[in-house]
């Protein structure tokens, strides 16, 4: 029997995850997931929150060293904090314009200090803008959002293919399950129940250069996309599947230990 073994959400697009014991899913999006983002200055006003491609933001795809920043966001106090090597270097309330500006300056200075970054030589991209209200999940890689799920055996299969350990956080998945064969989840269709709630399979997730960034070292150290193609035989590098509740508008939840039933 398959069950949920790990749960994550990502308050700020492309920053470090929060490990959770339960996720709430409202209208197809994980509460508190991708609710903030640091966007380039030339990609819209600070109150423009329409969906945009990841390449318009400071993200792991263009800034692998961001993996070294440890992020915390408190839903209640609305305080966002950033640490580097255990030391707090920026903190502020997203409710105040002054704190938002200070957070943007701190992130901009850190990104500029990295050898591999999208800001040096691009003055039009600064100052960064912190966008989002900390509540709406507007900054997923697709405009539809959704809940992403991968099987633990699929990760083991990839590790066997590349001949090295692969940290599952490279894939920024919300839900990790065990008890299914490697790559089985990529063939799911129709409806899936997780705990007491039903979900609909939307599509497998195609992967990008983000997965090459090591979440511990902040370096591009592994050809994960090539490894995926070799491991599962799918021409486009694919890992995990995207789900949404069987009916839009529902509030559902996913907890550690929930049973997963296909069909």
Q: What is the pLDDT of residues 112-124, one digit of tens each?
A: 999 999 999 999 9
Report the Cα–Cα distance between both ends of the chain, in Å, rounded.
13
What is residue 227's predicted lDDT score, i.e. its pLDDT?
A: 97
Ordered by where they begin, the domains of the chain are 2-30+141-262 (2.40.33.20), 37-131 (no CATH)
Q: What element of type H or E holds 103?
A: helix 97-112
Please state the rounded mean pLDDT for residues 71-83. 95
116 token code pair: 């591999």
Question: Could you report the per-residue pLDDT of 92-114, keeping only the tens digit for each?
Answer: 999 999 999 999 999 999 999 99
Q: What element of type H or E holds 226?
A: helix 224-232
Q: Measured between alpha carbons, how far is 258 from 175 in angstroms, rounded to an integer?
A: 11
What is residue 249's predicted lDDT score, i.e. its pLDDT?
A: 79
The yes-or-no verdict on residue 134 having pLDDT over 90 is yes
What is residue 1's predicted lDDT score, i.e. its pLDDT?
A: 85
Per the omega criterion (within 30 degrees of 0), is the bond before 226 cis? no
Question: Could you report the per-residue pLDDT of 155-168, keeping only the tens digit for each?
Answer: 999 999 999 999 99
What is residue 188's predicted lDDT score, i.e. its pLDDT?
A: 97
What is residue 147's predicted lDDT score, i.e. its pLDDT?
A: 97
Please state the rounded mean pLDDT for residues 51-56. 96
> What is this structure's pTM?
0.95
Cβ neighbours of 258 (radius 10 Å): 21
Average model confidence (pLDDT) for the chain?
96
The yes-or-no verdict on residue 192 having pLDDT over 90 is yes
Please state the rounded mean pLDDT for residues 45-52. 94
Categorize the per-residue pLDDT at 263 as very low, low, confident or very high, splitting at 50, 70 and 90.
Answer: confident
What is residue 247's predicted lDDT score, i.e. its pLDDT?
A: 83
Question: Could you report the per-residue pLDDT of 217-254, keeping only the tens digit for each?
Answer: 999 999 999 999 999 999 999 999 999 998 877 899 99
What is residue 248's predicted lDDT score, i.e. its pLDDT?
A: 78
What is residue 100's predicted lDDT score, i.e. its pLDDT?
A: 98
The yes-or-no verdict on residue 144 having pLDDT over 90 is no
Question: Could you report the per-residue pLDDT of 203-218, keeping only the tens digit for each?
Answer: 999 999 999 999 999 9
The yes-or-no verdict on residue 191 having pLDDT over 90 is yes
CA angle 7, 169, 154 (to 5 degrees): 85
Please state the rounded mean pLDDT for residues 141-147. 91
The yes-or-no verdict on residue 14 having pLDDT over 90 is yes
Cβ neighbours of 77 (radius 10 Å): 10
Please state the rounded mean pLDDT for residues 41-62. 96
Specify whether the CB–CB gap between 246 and 91 falls below 8 A.
Answer: no
């Amino acid at each position: 029997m398959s069950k949920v073994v790990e749960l994550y959400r990502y308050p700020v697009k492309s920053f470090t995850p929060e490990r959770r014991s339960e996720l709430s899913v409202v209208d197809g999006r994980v509460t508190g997931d991708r609710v903030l983002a640091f966007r380039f200055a030339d990609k819209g006003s600070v109150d423009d929150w329409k969906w945009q491609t990841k390449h318009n933001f400071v993200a792991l795809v263009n800034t692998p060293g961001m993996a070294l920043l440890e992020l915390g966001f408190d839903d209640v106090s609305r305080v966002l904090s950033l640490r580097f090597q255990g030391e707090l270097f920026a903190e502020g309330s997203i409710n105040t314009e002054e704190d938002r500006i200070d957070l943007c300056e701190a992130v901009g200075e850190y990104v500029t200090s990295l050898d591999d970054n999208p800001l040096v030589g691009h003055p039009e991209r600064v100052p960064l803008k912190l966008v989002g209200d900390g509540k709406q999940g507007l900054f997923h890689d697709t405009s539809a959002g959704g809940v992403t799920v991968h099987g633990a055996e699929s990760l083991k299969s990839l590790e066997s293919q590349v001949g090295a350990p692969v940290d599952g956080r490279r894939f920024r998945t919300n839900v990790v399950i065990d008890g299914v064969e490697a790559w089985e989840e990529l063939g799911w269709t129709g409806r899936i129940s997780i705990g007491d709630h039903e979900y609909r399979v939307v599509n497998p997730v195609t992967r990008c250069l983000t997965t090459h960034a090591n979440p511990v070292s902040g370096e591009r150290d592994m050809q994960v996309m090539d490894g995926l193609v070799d491991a599962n035989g799918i021409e486009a590098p694919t890992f995990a599947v995207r789900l949404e509740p069987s009916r839009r508008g529902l509030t559902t939840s996913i907890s550690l230990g929930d049973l997963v039933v296909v069909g």
